[in-house]
Amino acid sequence: MPAAPSLPRVGISSCLLGEPVRHDGGHRKQPTLLDEFSSQIEWVASCPEVELGLGVPRETIQIELQQGSLALMTHDSRRDITDSMRSWAQQRAAALAAMNISGYVFKARSPSCGVGSVAIVGGGHDGTGLFAAELIRQLPNLPVVEEDQLATHSARQAFLEQVRRYATSTG
């Protein structure tokens, strides 16, 4: 019997899969999205903050504009974790590229995972989380989306089509 064709791999923020990895031990599972995509793609989950070793529960973190540069800071203890997150993100993004992922669904507004929706303290505008920014830097044509943008069936199908096209063009 011929082997079943492999499904495109798509990265996802772990909390959107229902994993209890948020700072308060919660998750943001997306049942409709998961039901619709489960037979058509293979998920590859990452939680940057847990994989960096920040633990659950953990202090919240935020991106701040400091003297013209972005810094990732813990909220209360004021630890600067910019360099450690950037270093982890470089390695994780390279590993995901080597796995031939064909898309990524990011959690909106997260200072690690958000894409264009993240509050920049002192910046007066929204920006992109440090892990998402590094993945986009390494894979600039990768289809990426935040879960908020997949609220309708037509939006989900349009993203799936982008993923399939990317998988075909890179496979």
Write out the residues near ligand SF4 by the rule CB under 6 A.
Answer: 13-15, 21-22, 47-49, 107, 110, 112-113
22 or 156: CB nearest ligand SF4 = 22
Q: CB of residue 156 vs ligand SF4: minimum separation in angstroms?
A: 19
Kindly tell me which of 52 and 163 has the beta carbon lying closer to ligand SF4: 52
Tell me how far apart the alpha carbons of residues 158 and 171 are, in angstroms, rounded to a whole number: 20
Cβ nearer to ligand SF4, comparing 49 with 134: 49
Helix H or strand E encompassing 85? helix 82-98
Helix %, strand %, coil % of the chain (to 5): 35, 20, 40
Minimum separation from the CB atom of position 41 to ligand SF4 (A): 18
Residue 68 Cβ vs ligand SF4, minimum distance, rounded to whole Å: 25
Q: Where are the beta strands (DSSP E) in 67-107?
A: 69-74, 101-106
For residues 100 and 15, give the distance between their C-alpha atoms in angstroms, rounded to a whole number: 22
Least distance in angstroms from the C-beta of 115 to ligand SF4: 11
